[in-house]
Structure 1
């Protein structure tokens, strides 16, 4: 988590509200450790003066986003309204949620929608039978882009030079024994996925999970997201993913293209 002491990145002072930036980033700090925290803990983690952290917390408490018993501070459910505002306003979610539901119901597996955020992918919608819902891929869940099928499907939009630069700056840490971390090999894999039009990742992001993804393009052919179907390795083979799941994903992505602006 980046520190809260930031400059305005060269922007005019009148275009940058530092206190708002600090307040939003302080909210994010609560996700770095479980449970409530003391003012001293928060000030230390945020690298802020204690008095500054206190003013921000009291402002957030007045807005209903933070609660305190006088000693400990914790987030309230009001924070979830920030995420729900995004989900309600997202064209991608509104257009693709019913599509994900249909695909997931037809294959009896989880289908997910993800977007690229820096070096990570963020899952913003999913559909699936209740019996296979698990806590692993909830809305807002993040994973490194380089080792996920949705990530590789979206990384294929970049040129070789842009992709090489991205991989050079990214943290390519293995999440499982199968994770590919060598930049040259990753470049070759992503290029091959681009050529095929889909990505299949087998146990690289999670040890017992494999998934297949296709990019989602808007009306002008720009890749804006990726959709996937994932499954436990004991339930679905890689062959079944390409023969049974891939056509469904391709049809789903094609069906929404004209609706995405």
Structure 2
């Protein structure tokens, strides 16, 4: 939950509790009992029960016996965002263009705390490994997009972000040393792009570039990824970096034409 000291006077705790409960369901916790929900969201059983009953009445939560789960109605919240920001019209065609040229997968993401949230994604990959989906979130430190987004911060914010990081190894190659991560992100800042190999999951080699607004601020990141062993970081830099930069520049120009999307991506 939000730190009480950071809450505005009009902050509605009950709404925050309900949203936290919705956010607590994922692939690891597709169903939970009342006590499991309360523990996951750090609420009292009574508070969790009131929120669950409210969400169930509104149609966002269902139950199977004593176990609660999300319902398809939750998808309407994400689809409303998708439609309002015109992502399908503005961003998806850009990603499809990259896929037509390079194959593999391409995504656009933004930073949310220490995670990257995928707001657009196109892939031709099959079941060799898990692939990203719109709405997925991953630890930013282990992704090419996350490193680009952090590199785009001011020095003060970047150092504070790194200081608050508690990295955990996701593969045997994941870099979890804060000092080394800081050095790698500084290199990303100087290069203007990031590459990663098997940092988030085995089999993922990726390259990402920043998407900047009219003021030059990094507001999102664009990536292209392939299978480790079939592509190398050097190949991605040589073959895909120029096209990625051109696409990112075109998207940046588009933001001035779509004010809602521009506002959503504002830092």
Shorter chain as normaliser: what TM range? 0.7 to 0.9
Q: Deviations over 1:187-228 (max 9, x none)?
A: 222222222211111222222211000001122211110010
TM-score (structure 1 length as normaliser): 0.88
Aligned length: 256
Aligned pairs for 1:97-246 (under 5 A) are 97-129=92-124, 131=126, 135-246=130-241
Which residue of the other structure, out of 27, 32, 44, is the alignment partner of 2:22? 27
Is 2:129–2:203's contact at 8 Å kept on the other side of the alignment? no
Distance 1:93 1:224, change over 3 A: farther
Which sections of structure 2, spanning at least 5 residues, go unmatched?
Answer: 256-261, 263-267
CA RMSD, Structure 1 to Structure 2 (Å): 2.4
Map of 2:46 onto structure 1: 51
Aligned to 1:9: 6
Q: Distance in 1 between matches of 2:55 and 2:12?
A: 16
Q: Quick one: distance in 2 between partners of 1:219 and 1:93? A: 22
Report the TM-score, using the length of structure 2 for normalisation.
0.86
Q: Gaps spanning 5+ residues in structure 1: where?
A: none
Q: How far apart, in 2, do the equivalents of 1:40 and 1:187 lie?
A: 39
Structure exhibiting the larger radius of gyration computed from Cα positions: 1
Report Cα offsets for 1:113-137 as digits up to 9, x if no partner.
1111111111111113365796431
C-alpha distance in structure 2 between counterparts of 1:131 and 1:32, whole Å: 19
Residue 240 of structure 2 aligns to a residue whose secondary structure is helix
**Shift, 1:88, TM fit:** 2.0
Cα shift at 1:35: 4.1
